[in-house]
Amino acid sequence: MTFSFEKFLFFGSISSNSQLLFLKIYLDIPMHMKEKSYVMVKHDGIQRGLVGEITKRFEQSGLKLIGIKMFTPDRERAVKHYGKSDEWCQEKGEMMVKNIKDAGGEPEKDAIAYGRDIVEQVVNYITTGPVVAMVWEGHAAVEIVKKLVGGTQPTTSDVGTIRGDYTHDSYELANMQMRAVRNLIHCTGESDESEFEVNLWFDPSELVEYAHIAELMLYDVNLDGVFE
């Protein structure tokens, strides 16, 4: 993304020298320290009024918010976002078949069909209402966000994580009701997925370049504007 001085945000009325220092710091930060993570607060998170609390968790970690907007996802992009391979569908479907048999039932479909149903349920849910989408930037952003969000199943997600603290849905209940698990939030799962997810939901013009005080504290060893 090309740097635009007009879009660069400074800290209130600080001096010109300080502005130039922060500008230098931002431009000097290596790209591997500017990893991005895509975060989407889902419909259930919005309905329960948790957007502010969720955002606070990421802010307090020292990551930098560079993009945020609210919209209702369209089906075309949702299908691209949640698209899974046949291997994934087969694996998840086999787990569902096992659960059905363990409960004394008889599967009505092939395993892969159950797996594809999972994807369809998730797509249907994410397109039913508004989400708040965000892009967070910083060193190891993907892993930091994943740690704060917690595991995908709320009932087994650690205490202190967003999912562990704010919801108690489970795969078992979701499967019984043939719906997507209500786990409040999506986040990028792996670093190599980041660019795809960010570009899928955000236009480059919607991402803002600016220096943040946390970058000075974290990346500048001597707080002198020089990266050793």
Summarised one tens digit per residue, pLDDT across range 155-214 is 889 999 999 999 988 877 877 777 888 899 999 999 999 999 999 999 999 999 887 878
Q: CB neighbours of 151 closer than 8 A, spacing ≥ 6?
A: 157, 158, 161, 163, 164
Cα 172–Cα 182–Cα 95 angle in degrees, nearest 5: 30
Summarised one tens digit per residue, pLDDT across range 115-168 is 888 888 889 999 999 999 999 999 999 999 999 999 988 888 999 999 999 998
Query: In the CATH hierarchy, which top-level class contains the domain 33-72+129-203?
Result: alpha beta
Instruction: Give the active site residue among 43, 81, 186, 212.
Output: 186
Cβ burial 181-217 (10 Å sphere, 16+ → b, else e): bbbbbbbbeeeeebeebbeebbeeeebebbbbeebbe
Q: Where are the domains of the chain?
A: 33-72+129-203
Alpha-carbon gap, residue 196 to 185, rounded angstroms:
18
Nearest to 169 by CA among 157, 181, 156: 181
182 sits in which H/E element: none
CA distance from start to end of the chain:
25
212 annotated active-site: no
Cα dihedral 24, 28, 29, 30 in deg (nearest 10): 170
CA distances from 116 to 3, 52, 112, 120, 173 (A): 42, 33, 6, 6, 18
